[in-house]
Amino acid sequence: MSVFVNKASFMRHILFRSLHQAHGSLRIIDNQRTNNNPADVRQMINWGVVRMGKERRHCFTAKGTNMPKEKDCLNNAVKNCCACREGEDNSARSNTDIGLRGNIGIKIFGIILSALVVFFNYSPRMRAVRALPKAVFINSVSTLNDAEKGGAQCLDYLKSTLSIFESESTAHGQEGALNVTESGDETLGAKRISVRLFNLFELANVPIYNQERAMLYPGGRAVGISINLRGLLIVGSGSFRNRDGRECCPAKRAGFRAGDVILSINGTAVSTSEEMQLALNANPDSAQIVFERNSRRQTLTVKPEMGTDGKAKIGAWVRDSTVGIGTLSFVTEKEKASAALGHAVLDADTGSLLNVRKGEMVEADVLGVTKGSSGFPGELRGAFGAKSLRIGSIDVNTELGIFGIADSADYTCEAGETLPIAFPNEVHKGEAYIITQIDGEKPQPYSCKIIKNAAQSVPSQKGLVIEITDERLLNKTGGIVQGMSGSPIVQDGRIAAVVTHVFVNEPNRGYGVYAFWMYSVACGEN
C-alpha cells in the first residue's frame, strides 16, 4: 500500500508541475534551492513568471522572451523579484504554493471513486451489458423453437436469452440504475433495444432484425467474370508527339488524375475507347469532359492535340472493361439473386472500385493451381471464353462482392439442394467446412475451423477468421489461394460466411464475410 501511495503522490506532483508549466503559472524561486546560482535562476524563469512574496510582480515573462544577462538575473530577479528580500523566509510557503495542501483528502476521494468505478464496471449487470450482441436476429417464420417465432417480443427475447435483468420492473424500463427501452417498429432493423445508465448515458443499442430465414443454393464453383465499366477509367497519362513533333499531354495539363472516370465528352456519353476517339475527332479544338472523382461529378475543358496519325488525343490511358476468375458464393432460392467473391473488384493499376455498366458470370475451367506459401499467395489458374456457358448477369460491384441475377441454379455445387442462411449471431468458433473447386474437379467440401468471429451490427468484409484443416486442400493449395474468394463456409448445416482474403504470411488462414450481409445486398436490403 505504501508503494501505491508514493506512486500516486509522485504522479500528482508531476501533474501539478506540468499544469504550472503549460499554463505559465506562477512559480516560486526558493533562495535556499537556487543558492544565487544564475543557471538555476535562468531555469526557473524559463518555467514561467516569477512570483514575489506578498505582492506579485512580473519581472520576466514566460519562456519565449529574451533571457536577461546572468548578472541582471542574479541581482534583479533573485534579490528584488523572488521573495528573497532580507527577513523573508519562503521555505515554509513553497510546498503550499505548488498545490500539495490537502493531498490526503484527494487521495481518499480518488481511492473511493476508483473503487466505485471498478465495482460498477465489473458488476453482474454491467458484464451482461458488455456481453450484449451487436445485433439480434429473429426468424419471423420458423418452426425451430419458440424464441425465434415472430410473435415473440424482442425485449422478452433478449431478457430470456441473455438474462440481463433480475426484476420485471427494471426489465420493463422503470426508473433504476439501468433503464431499458424498446423503440421502433417491426420493420427490418428498425426495432432497437436501448440500455441507459440513469436514463442519461447510453451503454448499448442493439438493433433487432426480424425476418424470414432465407434458403440458398450453395456455390463453390469457379466462374469467369467479365465486366464492362460505366464510363472510362483513367489508369494513367502519357506524353505523345503532335503533328509539330512536340511532346505534349493535354490530360495531365488539364488536371486529370489516375482513378478519374470519364462519363461524357461534349455532351456525348462514352463507355468504350472507340466512342471516346469518335467524340474527340468530332471537335478537335475543344473537349468539355464530364467525369467522376471520389463519387463527385466535375467538368474540365481540354484542348486535344492532333497526333502524328491524324487523330485527336488527350494523352490519357483508359480502361473500359476487365476480366478475371473468382468463385460463386450462392444463389437465393426465391429471387434467384447471385453473389460472388465476397470483396469488390478493384482496378489493378489504380485500386479504384470499378463501376459496372453491364457484366456477366460464365463457367470457367480450372487448369491448375499455384500452391501458396508464407509471403507468397498462391492462385487458381483458370480459363473461359466467348462460348462459355453463361451463369447470370453482374449488375453491382460492392465492397462485399459482385451481385446479379442467375439464369438458373443448375451450376451450383449440388443442384436442387438448398441450405438455410445463418444469422451473424449464430456463427461461432468451431468446426466448419468450405465448398470450393480445385484442379478441374467439381466443388468439394473441405474441413476448416472458425477461430475468430466478430460481433457486427453493420456489414464488414472481415467478420471472421478461418483456418484450413483439411490435409487434401493443404497439400494441393497450401490453404487459401487467389481465385477461391467467394467460397461459401458452412457451419451447423447453414451457410455462415464466404471466404474473402488470405493471410499472406499464413496461407492456411484467411478472412470471411458473413453470408447474411451479402444476402442483404443481393436482395437490395442494404
Question: Residue 313 and residue 80: Cα distance in Å, rounded?
Answer: 81
Asked if 470 is an active-site residue, the reply is: yes
Catalytic residue among 226, 264, 485, 520: 485
Cell 521555505, located at residue: 91
Integer angstrom CA distances of residue 351 from 224, 258, 344: 20, 10, 10
Catalytic residue from among 40, 349, 395, 470: 470
- Please check whether residue 469 is in contact with residue 396, taking contact to mean a CB–CB distance below 8 angstroms: no
Buried b (16+ CB within 10 A) or exposed e, 344-382: ebebeebebebbbeebbbbbbebeebbebeeeebbbbeb
Per the listing, cell 467439381 goes with 442
Residue with cell 490435409: 471
Contact indicator for 230, 259 with CB cutoff of 8 Å:
no
Residues facing residue 158 across a β-bridge: none
| Type of residue found at 101 | R
Of the listed 30, 343, 393, 487, which one is catalytic?
343
DSSP 482: B
Q: Are the CB atoms for 515 and 330 separated by under 8 Å?
A: yes
How many whole angstroms separate alpha carbon 190 and alpha carbon 355? 30
Type of residue numbered 197: L
Residues 6+ apart with CB under 8 A from 459: 399, 400, 513, 514, 517, 520, 521, 526
Q: Which three cell numbers stand for residue 224?
A: 469467369
Beta bridge partners of 267: none
**Cell representation of residue 14:** 508531476
Q: What is each CA distance from 266 to 106, 283, 285, in whole angstroms?
A: 74, 8, 11
Tell me how far apart the alpha carbons of residues 310 and 373 are, in angstroms, rounded to a whole number.
Answer: 51
Residues forming the active site: 343, 470, 485
